[in-house]
Chains A and B, each alone.
Chain A
């Protein structure tokens, strides 16, 4: 592919695993209508998604990719291929190869010509061959844990290389979210991997896209303060990126939601720590002097982003088995409901001295409190009349954790008056360790599916 100077459109149709599967249709319709070079990305990984995918792969070697892959892609695959809209995603999760094979079979089943599918690999460090590398960073912490997954956050270079080699669909695992946008931009404009300013600008375009509807009025509405039209039909974003990397964020036509200055500001700072140093595998982006301006209806332009040399190391998340989470709930209503809920919590504390209980009074104080119960303790008992007591605890041993649901259930007959609606659950937990590894220790590659 030859580098181009024409603007690039990148639409995003998923911001997390479990996002809406009807998002892609209007995005693709808009890309087709606007014409010109275009990509569609799906971002479907979060901190624990990969560990859950790895568990599914253990149970079934053909599983371990995004469970909604089929539902997300099937409605738009034919149109994307017909109109030259290429697809880039991390929906390969713990098994990009199986995801690619699934897409190939899907295309065949739909009677479409076989798409050129590239599989990016190298991020998965869960195998034995990487155990030394992880132990060198995490030390003795690695001993005695039951590892479920270990993945490096990798960057855009392998994606760009796959696109340069003619891939129509690129399937990756733990690629950093913004790299899904940087890869297509690098390939389209022919940027070098050390063109820090341009990479940083595309990174922030990717950052605005990566949570899907969150930049289009999703996760923004607050009635009377931040009103969003037709939130039920909120659209997904499309970035228009120029050859310098500057972007204008818009959204799919004929959808609800709004692309506003206020909403784009919120998303620009979402999950950012030091604005002068937003770290990704591709670049260190600096938004400390960023500016946003309205560029038309539902269009906001981002400028003022600068870049610095990328970090020498890559971030790795290691997920491991973390014992059991036990939860139980029971409701109290009417006069003295809160007093009865608080009494029920006292009963549970005395019956379960070996568990560190978290107590929430839903309807009075939950969410804002802390696991140690400091805020609850310091909040005088009120007279809330519709209260749901929720308790939670964790324990390494299942048998110990199981005592919590049993004691909550026992409140039916042995607790305060009028308790109802007991629900309990016991779920295995996953815990996370993070470390940095030298970039050179994580060789990355892509392969075209037909050669795999």
Chain B
């Protein structure tokens, strides 16, 4: 029974928003329920996030923990191809990056499934 895990996209366990300053992006990952926060802590790590954004070649990924908000804040350095004034991307702010991260597959203990957002 201990193997009862389900794989879901991160957006079912968390929501978030992207902000930018210069060539640096921050992405919040906020648990839909405090009971889901430990899952984020163990699975949405700096390494995993750096891998997920490998094509953007971040020079550094830092994770900050906000237990009072059941939230993580990721800071990705040099990930915006220069930032709002320099990048050639249509989305020079990187506004859409939070939804790219929210597609990350994660494993949730089955008993927490009722806390997930959205349809099964």
Contacts and interface: CB of A to CB of B under 8 A. Distances in A.
B106 to A, nearest CB: 16
A224 B21 contact: no
Interface stretch (A79-87, A409-417, A424-432): A424-432
A269 B22 contact: no
Interface string A370-391: 1100110010000000000010
A393 interface: yes
A219 B18 CA distance: 11
Interface residues on A, range: 35 or more
A288 B66 CA distance: 6
Given A224-B119, A225-B118, A322-B85, A268 B69 contact: yes
Given A271-B21, A288-B66, A370-B55, A47 B28 contact: no
Given A267-B17, A370-B81, A371-B81, A393 B71 contact: no
A273 interface: yes
Interface in B93-120: 96-97, 100, 117-119
Identify which of B19, B62, B66, B84 gathers the most chain A CB atoms within 10 Å of its CB.
B66
A270 B28 contact: yes
A367 B21 contact: no
B5 interface: no
Contact of B56 (A219, A222, A325, A370): A370
29 contacts: A47-B83, A219-B17, A262-B15, A265-B30, A265-B69, A269-B19, A269-B66, A269-B71, A271-B19, A272-B19, A274-B62, A274-B75, A288-B64, A289-B68, A290-B68, A292-B69, A322-B86, A358-B89, A360-B89, A360-B90, A367-B96, A368-B100, A369-B89, A370-B56, A371-B81, A375-B55, A393-B88, A429-B86, A431-B85
Interface of A: 47-48, 219-220, 222, 224-226, 262, 265-276, 287-292, 304, 319, 322, 325, 358, 360, 366-371, 374-375, 378, 390, 392-394, 429-432, 434
